[in-house]
């Protein structure tokens, strides 16, 4: 199974964590989740993608990259292209995570170009959107997210190759999860916004919530309307905690 937009999606972003010996934990995770009815994805650092793809070959676990360049190749030292991710066996890629936007600039056109390149190379994209605390305090968060979506989702998108992840920047890695009302209202807004996109006339993409998701709050978050899954950070590094989140769907 590659991706089924009608199932809950549980994705784990490892960020800059993990080494070769971490494969033991991935094998343990696979033994726990096989038979689950969900899209389960891990995003390890680039150095572990090929190994994790090999380990997960006959399981329901999918593997993705944490970012990609918008060009297929060239003099871009330190960058990884969509064709390279595909060549390594990845099926997914995260585009526009707030940490990447902060490090490499916030040019929205670049996010759209990355997403289009990923689609052209048969990768399913998780496009991240999210506001910082200042934008929210100014009451501009809905307009901000609408603009991010308009500037980040290319015409190559459809519900089978695109996932949207709402990650309020003020809740990433801070332990400050958005309230149930915050999540419900923003996910409804995102869902309504996407309904006006021509490429989603046959159905909206899945919308994930990310931001300090853990085993204690995952079940409540996943029960909210228009929340089709979660993008997990630190808790995905521990196979037992990540499995608890998967089981809470």
- The structure tokens 């009608």 sit at 6
Task: Please give the full DSSP string across the chain, using - where no structure is assigned.
Answer: ----TTS-EEEEE--S---GGGHHHHHHHHHHHTT-SSEEEEE--GGGHHHHHHHTTTSSEEEEES--BSSSSSS-TT--BHHHHHHHT--EEEE--HHHHHHH---HHHHHHHHHHHHHTT-EEEEEE---HHHHHTT-HHHHHHHHHHHH--TT--TTTEEEEE--GGGSSSS-PPPHHHHHHHHHHHHHHHTT-GGGTT-PPEEEEESS--TTTHHHHHTSTT--EEEESGGGGSHHHHHHHHHT-
Please confirm, yes or no, whether 167 is among the known catalytic residues: yes
CB atoms within 10 A of CB 201: 11
Q: Which of 131, 167, 187, 239 is catalytic?
A: 167
| Residue 86, both tokens | 């595909």
Q: Which of 86, 97, 119, 141 is catalytic?
A: 97
Please confirm, yes or no, whether 150 is among the known catalytic residues: no
CB atoms within 10 A of CB 134: 10
What DSSP state is assigned to residue 44? -
Active-site residue set: 97, 167
């Amino acid at each position: 199974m590659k991706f089924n937009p009608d199932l809950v999606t549980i994705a784990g972003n490892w960020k800059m964590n993990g080494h070769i010996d971490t494969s033991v934990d991935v094998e343990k995770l696979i033994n726990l989740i096989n038979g689950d009815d969900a899209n389960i994805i891990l995003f390890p650092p680039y150095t572990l993608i090929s190994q994790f793809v090999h380990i997960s070959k006959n399981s329901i676990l999918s593997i993705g990259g944490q970012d990609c360049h918008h060009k297929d190749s060239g003099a871009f030292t330190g960058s990884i292209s969509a064709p390279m991710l595909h060549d390594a066996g990845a099926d997914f890629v995260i585009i526009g995570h707030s940490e990447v936007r902060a490090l490499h600039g916030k040019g929205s056109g670049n996010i759209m170009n990355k997403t289009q390149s990923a689609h052209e190379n048969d990768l399913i994209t998780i496009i991240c959107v999210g506001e910082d605390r200042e934008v929210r305090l100014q009451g501009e968060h809905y307009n901000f997210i609408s603009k991010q979506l308009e500037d980040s989702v290319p015409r190559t998108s459809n519900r089978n190759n695109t996932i949207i992840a709402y990650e309020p920047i003020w809740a990433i890695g801070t332990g400050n999860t958005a309230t149930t009302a915050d999540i419900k209202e923003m996910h409804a807004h995102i869902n309504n916004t996407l309904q006006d996109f021509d490429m989603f006339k046959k159905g909206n993409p899945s919308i994930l919530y990310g931001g300090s998701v853990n085993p204690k709050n995952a079940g409540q978050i996943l029960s909210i309307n228009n929340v089709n899954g979660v993008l997990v950070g630190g808790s995905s590094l521990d196979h037992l905690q990540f499995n608890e989140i998967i089981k809470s769907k």
